[in-house]
Amino acid sequence: MRIHCTAAGLVILFGLYFQLSASEWIFILLAIGGMFSLELVNTAIERTVDLVTEEFHPLAKQAKDIAAGAVLVYAILSVIIGCIIFLPKIVKNVL
């Protein structure tokens, strides 16, 4: 969660620096909010599985792995959104 907070803070600072449009902010905020929400759901699933079973069970491992995979997929999507929004602005300022 600390990594997500740090990344979100940096993205917000970059957004302010590059003066994102309202529609760009919507996508950025949806990516940030979605990431935090999915991370909380992942944590809830992991804690629930830990509460239900004390010993190793393959289905418990699968539930945890699938929840973590969902977080990874959304993190990749968020990076792609960030690249679509920020890369043209970075390239424009460098050239």
pLDDT tens profile 1-25: 888 899 999 999 999 999 999 999 9
Question: Is 61 marked as binding a ligand?
Answer: no
One-letter-per-residue 3-state SS of the chain: CHHHHHHHHHHHHHHHHCCCCHHHHHHHHHHHHHHHHHHHHHHHHHHHHHHHCCCCCHHHHHHHHHHHHHHHHHHHHHHHHHHHHHHHHHHHHHC
pTM: 0.88
Q: Is residue 39 flagged as an active site residue?
A: yes
Question: Is 39 marked as binding a ligand?
Answer: yes
Q: The domain spanning residue 15 has which CATH number?
A: 1.10.287.3610
Q: Which of 8, 15, 38, 39 is catalytic?
A: 39
Q: How many domains does the structure of the chain reveal? A: 1
**Rg, the chain, Cα only:** 17
pLDDT tens profile 71-85: 999 999 999 999 999
Residues of the domain holding 64: 2-94
Question: Is 46 marked as binding a ligand?
Answer: yes
